[in-house]
Structures are given as C-alpha cells and as structure tokens.
Amino acid sequence: MTKGAQTRETILDHAIRLASETGLEGLTIGTLADDLKLSKSGLFAHFRSKEALQIQVLDHAAEVFVESVVRPALKAPRGEPRLRVLFDRWLDWGRATELPGGCIFAAAASEMDDRPGPVRDRLVELQREWFGVIAISFLKGVVEGHFREDADPDQFAQDLYGIMLGFHHASRLLQDPEAGRRARRAFERLLLDAAPSPRSRPVTPSTS
C-alpha cells in the first residue's frame, strides 16, 4: 500500500514537469521510466493505460495548483485583495512549482481542444472549476463593494484568463522580459474598469 502510492507520487511529480514541456501527448512512458530509473513495464503497472496516466497527471497538477495558488489566496480578505493574491500566485505558479514548461493547463488546453475523450473531459472539468473560482471571487468583490454591481463575473474570468495566456505567450515563446510587467498592468486596468465608478471612468454599456 504505502510503497506503491509513494512511487506513484514520485512518478506524477516528475510527470507534470515533463508534461509541462512536451504536453500530455508528448509525455512518454519510456522517457518517464528512464528518468526515474524504473522499467517501462514497472512504471506502466501503476496506471493501466496511458490515458489513465494523463488524467492522473492532470489531477495531480490540479492539486499542486490549488495548494500553491488557491489556498494561499484564501488567507487574504475576500474580494479584490484575494483576487490580487490569486493573480500574483497564478502568474508565477509555473516558476514557483518549478514546472520547466510553464503552466501545464495552458499547454494541455490548446493541445486537447480538438481531441475528444476522457482526458479532454477531465481537463474541461478542471478548467471550469477554476473559471468558477475566479468568477465567484469576483462576485464576492461585488458584494464587498469593490466592484460595480453590473459587472459580469464571467466576462472578468475570461478577461483574466486572457491576460494570463497573453503573458504565457509573450514570456515563453517570445521570451519577452517585459511580459510580466505588462500582465500586471493589464490586471490593474481590469480591476480599475470594474471599480464602482468613484470618479472619471466612463461607464461602458455592459448590457448591450
């Protein structure tokens, strides 16, 4: 019982790093086994298919994500402060958790969006959950009076995700050192636009 779960953990720990670089499909059992000095069949026995491995990799990554992004944010006051922590942690969770390929979900998302099956289904589930966390956090900000009442939480979630993906693209592919700064600036602008018109913001027609 103990030993098996232990090595399985070790495998998944390494697998999310590998998968962040090569993608879930590029993740290969042979390479994984070599890296960990296991036999292919020995490693394979832990999962009984590659598909199962991929799904468990996703789940494991989600656990790590919750631990290093979501959980710390819960300590901050709800509403805007919590959203700020969420964003900060999100921005460098790839670096903080030492994922050499950056956010594994961003990679998996564009890899899986046209590949139907259980892996994609699980990914969609996890992403929806995360979208939900963002939207609800934003909604709490509305209740707290940090944001306008007519602001759309789903709009906010998609916008925020866009900022993240734009950052990921600029920093990882284009290697632009300014990417992080720009992402933070965009985030500030997003918050400002959702602020409850204290002054000078032209109200955008959000119901049209």
The contact set with a copy of itself (CB under 8 A) reads: 20-23, 25-26, 100-102, 106-107, 109-115, 123-124, 127-128, 131, 152, 154-155, 158-159, 161-170, 172-174, 176, 178-179, 182-183, 185-186, 188-189, 192-193, 198-202, 204, 206
Q: For DNA, what does the binding mask look like between residues 49 and 88, x meaning CB under 7 A?
A: xxx-------------------------------------
Q: Which of 113, 114, 89 lies closest to 103, judged by CA?
A: 89
Distance CA 36, CA 170 (A): 32
Pick the stretch among 22-30, 65-73, 79-87, 158-166 that binds DNA (CB under 7 A): 22-30
Among 7, 68, 127, 158, binds DNA (CB under 7 A): 7
Among 13, 14, 23, 44, binds DNA (CB under 7 A): 44
Nearer to DNA, 1 or 203 (CB): 1
Contacts by 106-109, CB closer than 8 A, 24 or more apart: 106/164, 106/165, 106/168, 107/19, 107/20, 107/23, 107/24, 108/19, 108/23, 108/24, 108/58
35 makes contact with DNA (CB under 7 A): no
Nearer to DNA, 43 or 73 (CB): 43
Within the chain, how many helices (H) and strands (E) appear?
11, 0
R_g of the chain computed on alpha carbons? 19
First to last CA, the chain: 58
Measured between alpha carbons, how far is residue 82 from residues 107, 136, 145, 177 in Å? 26, 11, 14, 26
User: Two tokens at 63?
Assistant: 């656990």
Q: How far is the CB of 116 from a copy of itself (least distance, A)?
A: 11
Nearer to DNA, 46 or 184 (CB): 46
Nearer to DNA, 8 or 172 (CB): 8
Distance CA 141, CA 83 (A): 8
Nearer to a copy of itself, 6 or 110 (CB): 110
Q: Identify residue 32 by its one-letter amino acid code.
A: L
Distance CA 151, CA 138 (A): 9
Nearer to a copy of itself, 38 or 83 (CB): 83
Q: Which residues bind DNA (CB under 7 A)?
A: 1-5, 7, 27-31, 33, 37-46, 48-51
